[in-house]
Structure 1
Amino acid sequence: MRISRTKVALGALAVCLFGAGMALGQDSPESLLPPGFDEPVAPSGAPPRPRATPASGPGLTLSPSTLGLPATPQPVPSPTPTPLDPAAMAALAAAQAAQAQRYEMPDYARRSLATVGVAGPADGALGPDAFRGVDGIYLETLMRRLNAPIASRWLSIALRRTLVSRIDTPARVGGADFAAERAWLLVRMGEAVAARAVVQAVDSDNYTPKLYQVAMQTALATGDPGQLCPLVGSADAAQERGWVIARGICTGLGGEAAAPILKTLEKQGVARGVDMLLARKVAGMGASGRQAITIEWDGVDQLTAWRYGLATASGTEIPDAMVQTAGPQVQSWRALSPMLEVRQRIAPAEYAAVRGVLSNAALVDLYGAIDGEDDQARAEYAVGRDLRTAYNAATRGERVAALAGLWGEGKTPDARYARMILTARAAARLPTDTQEVDMNRLVASMLSAGLDRTALRWQSRATAGSDAWAMLALADPEVSRRYRAGDINDYAPAGDNATLKEKLFFAGMAGLGRMSPGEASSAAGSLDVPIGTENGWTRAIDRAARANQPGLVIVLAAIGMQTSDWRGVPPEVLYRVCNALRLVGLGGQARMIATEAIARL
């Protein structure tokens, strides 16, 4: 089998909403430009517009106090308007006259704010009632305070699917503001394409100040400032610095002369240096652009979202050292960007795959796109060559050797897991009577792409007590037997994390309902895993599970796993997450999360 060769842009399609992060620790979007340019830019706490909201069921409405959160979101100041002289404003108004024209849509074409999103159950997303009975202010507060990335790839995938779902807007918040919070969390997760889709699911005449701010973030994260052009004429955004410059950029992209406008803005101090140079370079990409602009990064100490977005849009190369000054979410943005060359996307793509942003298929397509290119000495080509061998070598021995080589190249746990994701379908093509194969890595590779049925064909080959045996026991969707505490003791993992793996295996089995309460309690005592511990988070996720609120369960599960390393996930947290997901009908996700715990350590 030959790995399919794709064009660069095809990668953006392969990783859209359901293929298959960034530790910001902040409550608001990062500054688009250096201090003083566009601060503060946090989504403002503007009151929602009146709308019909679904009624809360009796006894199901939650309050922020559940997790010790304030009863209302903390006030966030709105962006401060930048005073411009009348001449500058007149120039902008004249240049944007054509764009200010509004086209009224007929009533039947308008989208309701009562249900907002881009995917339904047929696409693998949640149903519209995923947050039924949940207080909207409470939910928005949870999402705003959730730090990405989270430990589990599979939980990240579930969270993305939740955030892009066509969901009924919860009580006490507006549909546009709720979409903004969802999109902002997706941006922080590195899911730039999904975030843009959520923003664009709202009609522009329903935008709120919060959604305008997040719309700019998604345009920059995707490297597509043209998204801003239909919005620049809005009175809500007209005076903010970022939007003032965006109007000048859109003038240039629309084929008009933008240089005089941007020069006037530069004189007014709206932006200077590399930030204005990038704006002029993007504006010059229009039909009237004539000026060649060179971007020098010397003296620039920080890659902001503004600089990233405009540099990507204009084809300006960003030095690796500059990329390292940004949050890790930028790696996923780069992996999703069709504007970058394939080789520039390979390393970010492996990071994004581990975080659930890219699927096995998307990762294989990227390596397939460099297969056969001229520079065959590059490491990326060697990986693509070995991957092709793993798929279609003439003998099984060659395929097994190629897989072993790919699995053994990773220098970090994340790098090794990325190679398992890359090889998942190549591993699945091996006949079950293949000899001399690393069963632990083989099973982990298949399960990394959710190929549980295929992996289970190897169950008879797995050595009792091995990692492969444990992962297959967790992955089996049709298991009927009840496991005892002694069965858990049969698991004998090796390595530095053996004790933690044993505890996580027990937590997964107990959370998936594979053990009776008595046996689970006995094993918990012997392994010192406090599955009975209660706190605000455990009570909240248990309550959401009992109320059958799958969307809230997923958000709370992500809150429980706010760490980028599985070594930081307490076994009792995995137990609660698996149990809650199983109770709301998401047992498949629970099984994959539990197997991932074994594979990643």
Structure 2
Amino acid sequence: MTTSPSGLRRVAAVTLVAAVTLPALAQQERPESILPPGFGEPAATPSARPSPRPSATGLTSGPIAAPTPSQATAVVQPLPAPEPSASPSETPSPTPTPDARVLAEYEMPAAARRSLASVGPIGTGEGALPADAFGAADGQYLKLLMRNLSAPLPSRWMSILLRRALVGRIDTPAHVNGADFAAERAWLLLRMGEAPAARALVQGVDVANTTPKLLQVAMNAMLAAGDPGGLCPLQARAAALAPARGWTTAGAICAALSGNPAAAKAQLAQVRRRRVASGIDLQLAQKVIGAGPNGGQAMTIEWAGVDQLTAWRIGLSLATSTPLPDELMATVGPQANCWRALAPGVPPALRLPAAEAAAGQGVLSNLAMVDLYGSVEGGDDAPSAAVAVADDLRTAYTAADAAARLAALRRIWGRDDGQTPYGRLVLTARAAIRVPAGTAKAPADRLVASMLSAGLDRTAARWRGSVEAGGDAWAMLALADPDLSQRLTYRDVSSYAGSGDSAVKQRLFFAGLAGLGRLAPADIERAAEALEVRIGAENPWTRALDRAALANQPGTVVLLAAIGMQTGSWRGVPPEMLYRIVGALRAVGLGGEARMIAAEAIARA
């Protein structure tokens, strides 16, 4: 069991690149504009993609092909080099730009300034990883891991854990500027669909400390969050430090939002005359300006002739509640749907389809989904189908008898073949608690999967004595139960015959049990040989994961674990990687998350 399968070889390449090519990376990067076509120049075929995907990201075992990025996913724009040079053709700001550092001396006293030694909006006590989560790991190495991590991931729980690692108030590692490290973290959060988290992260750096890289990421973060007003504190510094056409146009927007329509009108005239922006991009900027105090103008947006969405177009549309055509949303990656699901300016009923997908990706919680459907139920213009789901959700919580609650859950799930969209299982997680364990004819597989989607492990464990041995619910509980003290055996593994592709699930079930230490060593060896799971394979990725675990670096372990899951679905996650990931997470004190990831594999494979 020493030969590495193709999936392991491909993921190992990411870690190998991180180990040997750090100096070359900085030399090869080139600055690129973060703005869409239409800002004074013709559209061009993009040379970079929203989610950097090297050849090593096709982590599959079997015939599933590695995903190929395309122009259709070009929503987030490429990062600049660490020190981009100014563009000689850049249109200057219509008004003189004050020195941001001089302004900072008056606007923020020294005692109020934040250090770059530790950056992040969430503390350890609020759910983030410890401040020293990356330990002594090299900052350039961590940046390269983040840059080469494709998102979204197939696992909801892995995505939640990765978000916690990225948004925490963590110590800046060696050999990297704190603002640039925050930019890299925010950049990955955007690719995951976590726009508010990315915005909060970049806003955790004082304006005087922002770098060109952080400013370009900040532009994308504010747009993804539908918050053009968030550009305003940065606009003066960006115009001087990281000039771009978008920041010039943002000057007019910020003047309007600050209640100075005359200045906004003058700057917009300059933008139009110098062709800094044109077409749909200029129209959207005008609509934001018109929405400001005394804006004095209304703008109707016509999407005719537009064949591609960009961060600028999505962001200003979200900010002004401008509907985005479905055919254009189909041209962008799934992270854009998550941005729309989180945008407060979009009516709740229009956010529902995107919200269910976002819940499956870990972007929205069970409570957030329940709140969203609650607002739909009280609305006047919600679609009848959405209102019906909201009514059923209320029944699932409040009905007097278990049969009525269970019938409501079945209607929400919609299908009896076990292929319920995972977002619907997230929606019903706490309603599923209301069905007593052992209820006759209850779909235990979906009830248990629903509860575990929200981490309700002990509540789900009440079903252990009521589920059929060898089924999916039994397997999920064997992996997720926090109080399980007795090890399972090889016979338990061999007798598992879950729904769907039982061979794939059986291998993932074994990998999860072995990684959690719930099999005896002799049974692990026997099952690995019988199921042909090469848990003893080694490569640069496994060695990097082992080193991070031994050094007790939970943040580094989470990054490397996410790299091992860069595939389109759970069926593409090799079981030997799941074994390594679960074991490494346990080793750094993340055993609860390891159990949820292992159980999710059974629910979604």
| Structure 2 length-normalised TM | 0.85
Asked whether the equivalents of residues 251 and 267 of structure 2 are also in contact (C-alpha less than 8 Å), the reply is: no
| 1:536 alignment partner, one of 534, 537, 540 | 540
Q: Match for residue 452 of structure 1?
A: 457
What's the counterpart of residue 57 of structure 1?
none
Q: Secondary structure at the match of 1:457?
A: helix
* Inter-partner Cα distance in structure 1 for 2:448 and 2:39: 52
1:260 maps to 266
Stretches of structure 1 lacking an aligned partner (at least 5 in a row): 1-25, 44-65, 68-72
C-alpha distance in 1, partners of 2:31/2:166? 18
Q: Is the partner of 1:232 in helix, strand or coil?
A: helix
Aligned partner of 1:303 among 292, 309, 315: 309
User: What is the alpha-carbon distance in structure 2 between the residues aligned to residue 29 and residue 393 of structure 1?
Assistant: 57
Q: Deviations over 1:42-65 (max 9, x none)?
A: 99xxxxxxxxxxxxxxxxxxxxxx
Checking the alignment, whether the CA contact within 8 Å between 1:41 and 1:79 is kept in structure 2 is no
Higher mean displacement: 486-495 or 589-598: 486-495
- RMSD across aligned positions (CA): 2.8
Q: Which amino acid aligns with 2:272?
A: E
Q: Give 2:421's aligned residue.
A: 416
Q: Which residue of 1 aligns with 2:320?
A: 314
Rate the CA distance shift 1:142–1:199 in 2: closer, same or farther, 3 A: same
1:509 aligns with 2:513: yes
Equivalent of 1:426, from 423, 431, 447? 431
Cα distance between partner residues in 1 of 2:286 and 2:90: 19
Equivalent runs, 1:350-429 vs 2, <5 Å = 350-374=356-380, 378-409=384-415, 413=419, 416-429=421-434
What's the offset of the Cα at 1:77? 7.6
Per-residue deviation, 1:232 = 1.1
Q: Which residue of 1 aligns with 2:64?
A: none
Deviation at 1:374, TM superposition (A): 4.0
* Equivalent position of 1:195 in the other structure: 198
1:336 matched to 2:324: no
Alignment: residue pair count: 543
Cα distance in 2, alignment partners of residues 304 and 436 from structure 1: 49
Matched, 1:171 2:182: no
Q: Per-residue deviation at 1:518?
A: 2.5
Gaps of 5+ in 2: 1-28, 50-55, 58-78
What is the letter of the counterpart of residue 508 of structure 2?
L
How far apart in 2 are the matches of 1:591 and 1:116? Answer: 29
Regions of 4+ moved over 6 Å: 26-30, 38-43, 96-100
Structure 1 residue aligned with 2:278: 272
**Alpha carbons of structure 1 residues 28 and 159: separation in structure 2 relative to 1, 3 Å:** farther
Q: Deviations over 1:473-500 (max 9, x none)?
A: 10111222222222211212132x1100
Identity in percent: 56
Quick check: 1:158 aligned with 2:164? no
1:478 matched to which residue of 2? 483
Q: SS where residue 535 of structure 2 aligns?
A: coil
Question: CA offset at residue 434 of structure 1?
Answer: 2.2
Residue 134 of structure 1 corresponds to which residue in structure 2? 137
Counterparts of 2:359 and 2:389, CA distance in 1: 16
- 2:590: which partner in 1? 586
Q: TM-score, normalised by structure 1?
A: 0.85
For 1:332-360, what per-residue CA distance to the aligned partner results, in whole angstroms no more than 9, with x for missing partners?
00111110001111000000000000000
Aligned amino acid, residue 497 of structure 2: A
Residues 1:248 and 1:375: Cα distance change in structure 2 (over 3 Å): closer
Residue identity in the other structure for 1:576: R
Contact 1:232 1:238 in 2 (8 A): no
Moved more, 310-319 or 152-161: 310-319
Partner of residue 565, structure 1: 569
| Alignment CA distance shift 1:119-1:77 (3 Å) | closer
Whether the 8 Å contact between 1:42 and 1:78 is mirrored in structure 2 is no
For residues 30 and 440 of structure 2, what CA distance do their matches in structure 1 show?
52
In 2, Cα distance between equivalents of 1:430 and 1:143: 42
The correspondence for 1:492, drawn from 494, 497, 503, is 497
Q: Deviations over 1:520-549 (max 9, x none)?
A: 111100011111111111111111111111
Compute the displacement of 1:371 (Å): 1.2
Whether contact under 8 Å (1:84, 1:268) holds in the other structure is no
CA 1:27–1:453: 2 relative to 1, 3 Å: farther
1:113-158, CA deviations, whole angstroms, 9 ceiling, x for partnerless residues? 1111111221121111100110100100010110101111000000
8 A contact 2:31–2:81 mirrored in 1: no
Query: What's the CA shift for 1:412?
Result: 9.8
Larger displacement relative to structure 2 (531-540 or 581-590):
531-540
Secondary structure at the counterpart of residue 81 of structure 1 = coil
Distance 1:74-1:350 versus aligned 2 partners, 3 A rule: closer
- The secondary structure found in structure 2 opposite 1:92 is coil
Aligned to 2:208: 205
**8 Å CA contact retained: 1:32, 1:307:** no
